[in-house]
A and B are shown apart, each in its own frame.
Chain A
Amino acid sequence: MAKPNYEMRKRTPEPSRVGADETSATGVMDQESPETDAATNAAPEQTTGELKAAQKSRLADLDRETLIDIYHQMLLARRFEEKAAEAYSGGKIGGFCHLYIGQEAVAIGAISAIRRDDYVLTSYREHAHAIAKGMSPESVMAELFGKATGCSKGKGGSMHMFDKEVGFLGGHAIVAGQIPLATGVAFASKYKGTDQVTLCFFGEAAVNQGAFHESLNMAQLWKVPCIYICENNQYGMGTSLERAMSSHDISQKSCAYDIAAEFVDGMDVLAVREATLRAVERARKDYLPTLLEVRTYRFMGHSMSDPGNYRTRAEIERHQERDPIKLFSASLKEEGVLSDSEFQEIEAQVKEQVEKAVKFAEESPLPDPKELYTDVYASPINTQRD
């Protein structure tokens, strides 16, 4: 048995516990404190200045076209969801609607590092991942509207987007449910001898589920090309990581399975891309899995019905200063990649894309009532019922 390989682990400060008495049982903060951020004790946060300097140093390695594409994708995800929130409030979208605003650098950075024929699976907070993987904003918006032209024919909704053509394999709404599935998709790539890799996204709350641990164990045991991307947005619904996890250092959990891991600041889209590229190389060449802990922050509530009483306004605002889109646009501007007029041009293109998606969704027909009984079985068996 080889010695554990921890070289990939970039930084692992000593995990420490914050006493449970520092937060109330309900999650409502009695007083504002700069140290209330749930996971700061696991790995300290970079200052905005450090973050920007690090991003600029990465900028030089990429061509202009890639940078513009990444920026465009991030802005599209943001504006798409702002519009979705509006449509939800207007009653056009039903059920749950989990917004990704604030976390865009994670999905877009990671997915920019893979090929079209690679696979992506994620949780129910997946609009941005779907679009980044190549699904049309029209088919995603139409799915949100519950229309026949939606990517899942209006049967999946916000939490169950799928598109076989671009390798987007859902949209799964049981916390951690997608982790064994993604492990199986990656297992199949190895079984078939292809070099396709699988990205598996999940929130930090999923790390407490057995499915996470069972999957990582099998992935390293059998060496499957799956990249587990923990989007640590620091809250599982309204419960902070501190109140739910005995050891706050998620990347360190990889030690239990002898799996390579890396911690990434998820507000820097290029840092996420680079870390994913390293993991992708290992997966493609040697069928090796990786766990990435990507620290991020959700600016909106857990879903549209979130009362938001478990964190302070000041905490949210502090993270908004590290907004991944603001950060990236500042880097692009300061490094002279994009001019003001080019920024405006991209903003206009995105606006048009989103408006087109809404128009398409609004004008699309509802599913035919006959669709209620289709797609239950791939090979239905007629047992001569009426």
Chain B
Amino acid sequence: MAVVTIREALNQALREEMQRDENVFLMGEEVAEYQGAYKVTKGLLQELGAKRVIDTPITELGFAGLGVGAAMVGLRPIVEFMTFNFSILATDQIINSAAKMLYMSGGQFNIPIVFRGPGGSAYQVSSQHSQALESWFAYFPGLKVVMPSTPADAKGLLKASIRDDDPVIFIEQERMYGIKGEVSDDPDFVIPLGVADIKREGTDATIVARSLMVPVALKAADALQEEGVSCEVVDLRTIRPLDIETIIKSVQKTNRVVIAEESHPFCGVAAEISSEITERAFDYLDAPVKRVSGADVPMPYAKNLEDLAVPTVDQIVAAVREVAYLD
């Protein structure tokens, strides 16, 4: 065990899996000579060589599709998007090719590929460089969607994603690369996909969170504990397939639930979870399910406006107080 940042944990996962399997290669913009726009791929070119760590032109649709094609014939590409904002250019290949190939080929061509990179809100880069896209990708059967919130999860989930035989959308959080935590150095340390994690146990209310909202929810839980409210924080870790059972069990225990997310509320992951809870655990609810989502606007540049667009500790505290009828 060593204490490392999320950035370093991801770097370890990439290095270990590339050393383990010759068929794994990494491609993307600035991943090799520049050492990664966010330094996640630091040192990999030097250690693994230019055949395995490939700088691409700025051509997202092209290299995403190239990766899917390579995956059709046995390679296991890791395609880095410098940020997930640019994956929007590649969505035809991600959705129409990667997600559907196995199905429309009658089970003949699975696509073992990882599309990874930072997503979610960044710092003051305005609308096109700061957005949460997981609900887009999670919509499609055939894709798996993963969002870690700690260094250990980042490493274990990325290793599992690279070993997975299906296309995985692996969204790191741009603001979280520097977060530190203990990480295993066991080369076979993997965290299975599709399993949520209870980051804090509690009895009075459940806060369902993912990615950046996990540390925010944990701070909210600390604040609420001081008021005598015990919150359970469920970290989804994998968005699709969704570990709904863990959420339902928590709701059955606490009877109150707040779902926190960075993304826009409309057609979002929280809306889906809310619907599932209503269908499966309606009788256990002592209050309506409450969502805390990012503002339903493109991300603004001005610091004060940006702060208003991303959910805060105070907003989550207020939402829990609301479902607990404390006001």
Which residues of chain A have a CB within 8 Å of any CB of chain B?
Answer: 119, 121, 150-156, 160, 162-164, 169-172, 174, 177, 179-189, 191-192, 210-211, 214-215, 217-218, 221, 374-379, 381-385
Taking a contact as CB atoms under 8 Å apart, the answer to whether B166 and A378 are in contact is: yes
Bound Cα distance A187, B108 (Å) = 20
Return chain B residues, CB-CB under 8 Å to A163: 108
A-contacting 9-mer, from B4-12, B55-63, B126-134, B312-320: B55-63
CA distance A385 to B241 in the complex (A): 10
Q: Is B165 an interface residue (CB 8 A)?
A: yes
- Kindly provide the distance from the CB of B27 to the nearest chain A CB, expressed in whole angstroms: 9
| B70 adjacent to A155 (CB under 8 Å) | no
**Does A184 lie within 8 Å of B68, measured CB to CB?**
yes
Number of interface residues of B (CB under 8 A): 51
13 A-B pairs, CB-CB below 8 angstroms? A121-B69, A155-B105, A156-B104, A156-B105, A164-B109, A170-B105, A170-B109, A180-B62, A180-B69, A211-B61, A379-B165, A381-B238, A384-B245
Does any Cβ of A come within 8 Å of B67's Cβ?
Answer: yes
Q: Do the beta carbons of A184 and B59 come within 8 Å of each other?
A: no
Q: Mark B84-113, 1 if CB is under 8 A from A, else 0.
A: 000000001100110001111111111010
- Pick the residue among A155, A170, A218 that contacts B63 (CB under 8 A): A218
Residues from chain A with a CB closer than 8 A to the CB of B193 are: 381
Interface membership of B223, Cβ < 8 A: no
Partner of A217, one of B59, B67, B104: B59
- Given that A152-B108, A155-B106, A160-B105 are contacting pairs, would A381 and B194 also be in contact in the complex, using a CB cutoff of 8 Å? yes
B73 at the interface (CB under 8 A from A): yes
Q: A40 → chain B, closest Cβ, in Å? A: 32
A384: chain B residues at CB < 8 Å are 243-245
Q: Mark B47-84, 1 if CB is under 8 A from A, else 0.
A: 00001000011010111111111111111010000000
In the bound complex, residues from chain B placing their C-beta under 8 Å from that of A152 are 104-106, 108
Across the interface, do B108 and A182 meet the contact criterion of CB distance under 8 Å?
Answer: no
In the complex, what distance in Å separates the CA atom of A186 from the CA atom of B69?
8
Q: How far is the CA of A283 from the CA of B61 in the complex (A)?
A: 24
Instruction: Flag if A155 contacts B104 (CB, 8 Å).
Output: yes
B242 in contact (CB, < 8 A): yes
**Distance of B276 from chain A, by nearest CB (Å):** 10
Chain A residues, Cβ within 8 Å of B242:
383
Specify which chain A residues have a CB less than 8 angstroms from the CB of B97 in the assembled complex.
Answer: 172, 177, 181
On whether the beta carbons of A185 and B69 are closer than 8 Å, the reply is yes
Cβ of B193 to closest chain A Cβ, rounded Å: 6
**B151 interfacial contact with A, CB 8 Å:** no
Smallest CB-CB separation from A218: which chain B residue?
Answer: B62
Contact B66 A379 (CB under 8 A): no
Report the minimum CB–CB distance from A332 to chain B (whole Å). 37
Tell me if B104 and A188 are in contact (CB < 8 A).
no
The answer to whether A180 and B165 have CB atoms under 8 Å apart is: no
By a CB distance below 8 angstroms, the chain A residues around B101 are 170
Chain B stretch 230-256: residues in CB contact (< 8 A) with chain A = 238, 241-245
Question: Contacting B107 at CB < 8 Å: which of A169, A182, A189, A374?
Answer: A374
B314 to chain A, nearest CB (A): 33
In the bound assembly, the distance between CA atoms of A228 and B77 in angstroms comes to 23
Q: Judging by beta carbons under 8 Å apart, are A377 and B92 in contact?
A: no
Collect the chain B residues with CB atoms within 8 Å of residue A218's CB: 56-57, 59, 62-63, 66
Contacts of A185 in B (CB 8 A): 69-70, 72-73
What's the Cα separation between A196 and B62 when bound, in Å?
21
Taking a contact as CB atoms under 8 Å apart, the answer to whether A211 and B65 are in contact is yes
The answer to whether B165 touches A211 (Cβ under 8 A) is: no
Contact A211 B106 (CB under 8 A): no
Q: Which single residue of chain B is at the shortest CB-CB distance from A119?
A: B73
Tell me if B75 and A174 are in contact (CB < 8 A): no
Which one of A172, A186, A188, A215 lies within 8 Å of B62 (CB-CB)? A215
Cβ-based interface call for B294 (8 A): no
Top-4 shortest CB links A-B? A184-B69, A180-B65, A214-B62, A153-B106
The minimal Cβ–Cβ distance linking B50 to chain A, given in whole angstroms, is: 11
Q: A164-B108, A188-B70 are in contact. List 6 more A-B contacts (CB 8 A).
A: A152-B106, A180-B61, A192-B75, A221-B57, A375-B106, A376-B102
The smallest beta-carbon distance between B160 and chain A, in angstroms, is 10
A217 near B62 (CB under 8 angstroms)?
Answer: yes
**A376 touching B165 in the complex, CB below 8 Å, given contacts A184-B67, A214-B61:** no
Residue B33 interfacial (CB < 8 Å): no
B219: min CB distance to chain A, Å: 28
Residues in chain B near residue A156, CB distance under 8 A: 104-106
Contact of B102 among A177, A188, A189, A375 (CB under 8 A): A375
- Whether A215 touches B66, Cβ cut-off 8 Å, given contacts A374-B107, A376-B103, is yes
Are B65 and A217 within 8 A (Cβ)? no
Contacts of A192 in B (CB 8 A): 74-75
Name the residue on B nearest A196 (C-beta). Answer: B73
B164 at interface by CB-CB < 8 Å: yes
